[in-house]
Copies of this chain bind each other. A is one copy, B any other.
Amino acid sequence: MIYLDNAATTFPKPEEVYQAMDKANRELSINAGRGSYRLAREASKLISDTKQQLRDIVYADISASVVFAPSITIALNQVIQGLELNRGDVVYVSPYEHNAVARTIHLVEKQKGIVIKFLPLNEQTLEVDLDRMRYEFAKDKPRAVICIHVSNVTGYILPVKEIFEAAKEYEAITVLDTAQSLGLIPVDSKSIDADIISFAGHKTLYGPFGIGGFINVTGISLNECIVGGTGSDSLNLDMPAGSEAKYESASKNIVAIAGLNAALKKIDQSMLLKKEQELTDYLIKGLEKLDGIKLYLPTSSEKHVGIVSFNLEGYSAEDLGTILDEDFDIAVRTGYHCAPWIHEYLKDSSSLGTVRIGLGQFNNISDIDNLINALEDL
């Protein structure tokens, strides 16, 4: 199988990730932080080391809390549902948001009566129109701005530095979703004004399922969303104080954390990005030659990563995906990709979404040749 669905989850992972997980499973999969014996302390050390790796990758200070959750979806629920928001507060999101943000902020809208507004896009380029955004911010002041770093539909890298800088003029809380960026493109908390950086272990970080979370760079206080046992302060019916423990209930998944730790050790962001950009350029050149191709691309190659959406005249996205799978053993993703809003701009409803290629570090030129040959053969 030629796997071109790395935007759903990167696959395979580096060999070191598999080995670290099997080893942790066999030797360390006890309940960290719940016991005071040697293995429990070893597990706790692995957890704190992994948190430090995450601080390092975003250049955060040691004071930044790193909260582990079983997935970025759960982390974003904790963050977005946990924000201190009141009726009428304006929360801006980009039209590129994934349902991990979109459905969650919609739930908060129903519960608290907040107002959701969109960062405006240029209708031609589908890039964020920063001038119009600043105008909108001045008109309806943001209480919070939540933004995906890289679109999981078109690979577009949003100008989050400029977006959050403008948001901070109104002291808005800023939340960044790095599911498709961390490990691949720079996320520098010293330069991007994000209060909270959420992350997924299993995508561009090349770690496993079962681990995600958020880095609370500036120590935003969040209301309780998910509660439970913490192995500490057990007689307290509220979650314990502490910028991490308060949000970390349930036994930690030490096996997944061991995998993420190995992945973080292995990652070489500049190499990954260079390789992915070369492959992406090659892919796009190949696709552009096809008759009846419709590509959904940002304006320049510096503005996107190796996620490329397209459609081919005469085919629905889903049908094309099925043909690629059944006749050519090529795995792509089709449909709306859990992104509810951007399709209005892409105008892809007649194809029921797009065909999406998600490149990863284990893809090569031959994978792309095979894809292009398949599409030419149709």
Contact = CB atoms under 8 A, between A and B. Distances in A.
Interface of A: 1, 3, 5, 8-9, 11-13, 17-18, 21-22, 25-26, 29-31, 34-40, 70-74, 76-77, 98-100, 102-104, 106-107, 202, 208-210, 224, 226-231, 234-239, 249-256, 318, 321-322, 325, 329-340, 343, 353
Contact of A209 (B74, B234, B235, B252): B252
A251 B106 contact: no
Given A100-B249, A238-B103, A253-B209, A5 B325 contact: no
Given A12-B26, A210-B209, A236-B340, A322 B251 contact: no
A219 B173 CA distance: 39
B35 A332 contact: yes
Given A30-B8, A37-B5, A74-B70, A100 B208 contact: no
A204 B217 CA distance: 38
B210 A256 contact: yes
A344 to B, nearest CB: 9
Contact of A11 (B5, B29, B231, B333): B29
B77 A226 contact: yes
Do most interface residues of chain A lie in helix, strand or loop, or is the interface mixed?
A: loop
A71 B229 CA distance: 12
11 contacts: A1-B37, A12-B26, A22-B22, A34-B333, A70-B74, A73-B251, A74-B226, A77-B228, A99-B228, A99-B229, A236-B340
Given A72-B250, A73-B228, 14 more contacts: A21-B21, A22-B22, A37-B330, A38-B329, A70-B74, A70-B250, A74-B250, A77-B227, A99-B249, A107-B224, A229-B338, A234-B335, A234-B337, A234-B339
Contacts of A5: 30-31, 34-35, 37
A339 B230 CA distance: 11
Contacts of A228: 73-74, 76-77, 99-100, 103-104
Given A74-B70, A209-B210, A230 B31 contact: no
B18 A251 contact: no
Nearest to A25: B18
A30 B11 contact: yes
Given A34-B333, A236-B340, A336-B234, A229 B8 contact: no
Given A234-B338, A251-B71, A343-B235, A31 B9 contact: yes
